[in-house]
Structure 1
Amino acid sequence: MTTTDTAWTTQQGTIRKGMKVIAADGVVIGTVAALEGEELMLEGGSHDFVAITQIDGISADAVLLSDRGDATFGLGATP
């Protein structure tokens, strides 16, 4: 895979450059710029990337993220 690709096949489905990335609460956090390893790189939003393990589903024009990351953030961490 290179950053010049415009579509990537994952276990969840095919992700294409320019698709909206939508958080579990319905907020668009950016658009797909590229897939690099296990990270979905974003442009035009408040996040630089999300792990592909956070993907809950893929529609024709959007990637929906699960709320797992928010729900488990900090669990098991020591201050």
Structure 2
Amino acid sequence: MGGSADAGTASRIREHMEVIGADGVHVGTVDAVEGHRIKLTKRDSDAGYEGGTHSGHHHYLSCGLVAEIEGDKVRLSANGDVAYGMLEEE
């Protein structure tokens, strides 16, 4: 895994694509790609969190977690529950 592969993958990620874990679980929706991170929409910021404690602000995922692009979905290399733990704050 190198930086060029991440850059190539990042260039294929588009706004409104669904981000799913390796297990198919919804993790979020792409708002934008900023550098080497995927910015998720605010409306999905409480997805996967009981009580919505993470709502109201953007979360980010490293492009290094992307396993593949499948049509309009970004599939991660980690299962959804693991990916939730890897979300980064602004």
Are 1:64 and 2:64 matched, yes or no?
Answer: no
Unaligned runs of 5+ residues in structure 2 are 1-6, 48-58, 86-90
**Rounded Cα–Cα distance in structure 1 between residues aligned with 2:68 and 2:36:** 16
Unaligned runs of 5+ residues in structure 1 are 1-9, 74-79
**Rounded Cα–Cα distance in structure 2 between residues aligned with 1:34 and 1:41:** 5
Are 1:54 and 2:52 matched, yes or no?
Answer: no
> Map of 1:1-79 to 2, 5 A cutoff?
10-12=7-9, 14-43=12-41, 44-45=43-44, 46=46, 48-67=59-78, 70=82
| C-alpha displacement of 1:33 | 0.1
**Rounded Cα–Cα distance in structure 2 between residues aligned with 1:59 and 1:26:** 11
| C-alpha displacement of 1:25 | 1.9
Equivalent residue of 1:16, what SS?
coil
Q: Which structure has the highest helix share of the two?
A: 2
| C-alpha displacement of 1:54 | 0.3
Q: Determine what percentage of the aligned residue pairs are the same residue.
A: 34
| C-alpha displacement of 1:16 | 0.9
Larger RCO (alpha carbons 8 Å, 6+ apart): 2
Cα deviation code 1:47-69 (max 9, x no counterpart): 7111000000002210000029x
**Rounded Cα–Cα distance in structure 1 between residues aligned with 2:35 and 2:18:** 19
- Structure (1 or 2) with the larger CA radius of gyration: 1
Runs of 4+ off more than 6 Å: none
